[in-house]
Chain A
């Protein structure tokens, strides 16, 4: 009997690429006088993190979300999304990266009233060029994940607010994004619906999704692992 030779030193896990890495990001709006919405922001979000950004209105939360979502460009500083320097991307490439890596959840849901629930969800992969059949299948799966598989053919107008937001989340989940960006996701919901949406976020985080929520609702922020406060365009970690 020979002993199996086991390497005593465990292999060092390579450092995982952060989903979001902001390095001295500034955003100045060229109004008169100029408004510094973001002042030298440093932020790192690792995979599977659930981060809440809290702060009063006008603090620059939305600007930060727009920069993170590639909807807006920083005036200076670097933003790496999945390790890609976003400064190098042109307009069309940013649109493509947005579609591929980011799932948006808005306060006002942004569902198209003239399309069915399933079509609304499928819209997310429209610009990725996947074929219709796969898209439908994945839309059904995503709706199943948010517990709405029984609402496939409904028009959004016939859904409750909570259901609408869950449809919007299903849409954001389609295409396996690296980052779920949520802008006041519970702002238009009552307590019960807020609870169900937050429970859903917990489930999604456990499944490994990276979630970043912008809110001024402390109850929502409480559910995140990590809270970051934003005041006057500057970020501070909350213990």
Chain B
């Protein structure tokens, strides 16, 4: 009997529960539909009012975030600036030059190595993929004085000591030389062992040579050479502009030059490393290791090394400050929540839901983080500019940095505000009202 009663009661209880649940769900839906939204403009108002209610406290609270963001921005910006500075030195001219010379360390091996370098570098080097031009050059060791007329005139200084170089045909292109008057010698001159010379613009000025149609002659020591061209510029070897260059064959004949000292190669951009490996073998298959190759360093490696050196410590410091800043915001927001318990109760009584309360404190802590981020980014950028200014660098700033910094600050504030906001939202309105009186 008792069990039947219990069974029927439990069945009716289930039915009642179900109907209650249905009606509850319906009521909830209706309430949700009619539930008004907390306007964004109002949230902004409440947030600003809340933050500026205690301006000194808000300012001190944001300080940690300001320091963190400022050091992050400054570190990233300064290392970027410094990195660009170093990269800037790897200009196109330096990055495409390879020089091969005899190694000068060992006493006997230097001559042996010099003996390895051939004059006909163009036929050996220009075949390599990535070579633009190449040329061999040797300084004439003791050319004697240079003069334009065979007479020694004591009143007019017509004799000078001028460096003289013997070179192969390709040198002009390899050093990016420019001829202003006349021409550079060609392979015909070399084969015929013609006594021709190209003089640098400085030398031409010294000797008063500006026209070549009269085929002016020049004496190097006692050997007469015909001037066929004036070299106006040589980007890779400025010294050539104040020198005289003659074909290596006639230098061999008349100026006691035997072997080239170095080979200058112009490469395509990015090919320098490869050519630096291949050129010695192409020049001297039997003694490549005795040759010294000068090539530009790999620019990306340099940049990375610099950034690694500068960055790590400061990035770490910045992150630590940011964490400290976040803890500061969390702490102060928590204290604020406790102080404003009565206000939370009041707001709940006035119709604020838990979500509204959480949203308000979250947006207050986020606002403090955002302001910290904006000030921090400003301080960081000022630091970058002043450091760059003091070192006479060009400040380089990634565009995303000043945009991302305030967002990072806001994120810090958001994370910092999570726990205090949840605490605030969890307060029972009755307790909050009672505690806040």
A residues sitting closer than 8 Å to B (CB atoms) are: 66, 69, 71-72, 84-85, 87-93, 95-100, 102, 104, 106-108, 110, 112, 114-115, 119, 123-124, 126-132, 171
Contacts and interface: CB of A to CB of B under 8 A. Distances in A.
Contacts of A100: 351
Given A95-B353, A132-B41, A126 B46 contact: yes
A107 B42 CA distance: 28
A93 B35 contact: yes
Interface string B350-378: 11111110000000000000000000000
A17 B24 CA distance: 21
A126 B38 contact: yes
Nearest to A93: B31
Secondary structure dominating the interface of B: helix
Nearest to B30: A93
A85 B225 CA distance: 118
Contacts of B349: 69, 71, 98, 102, 104, 110
- How many interface residues does chain B have, given as a range? 35 or more
Given A71-B349, A119-B49, 13 more contacts: A66-B430, A85-B27, A89-B31, A93-B31, A95-B354, A104-B349, A110-B343, A114-B50, A115-B49, A124-B351, A126-B350, A127-B350, A131-B39
A112 B38 contact: no
A110 B435 CA distance: 11
Contact of A126 (B42, B343, B355): B42
Contact of A90 (B28, B346, B430): B28
B28 A112 contact: no
Given A71-B349, A91-B353, A110-B433, A127 B31 contact: no
A92 B437 contact: no
Given A66-B430, A127-B350, A132-B42, A93 B436 contact: no
9 contacts: A69-B349, A71-B348, A72-B430, A93-B31, A93-B35, A99-B352, A110-B345, A119-B49, A127-B353
A114 B49 contact: yes
Contacts of B31: 89-90, 92-93, 96-97
B192 interface: no
A89 B36 CA distance: 15
A119 B343 CA distance: 14
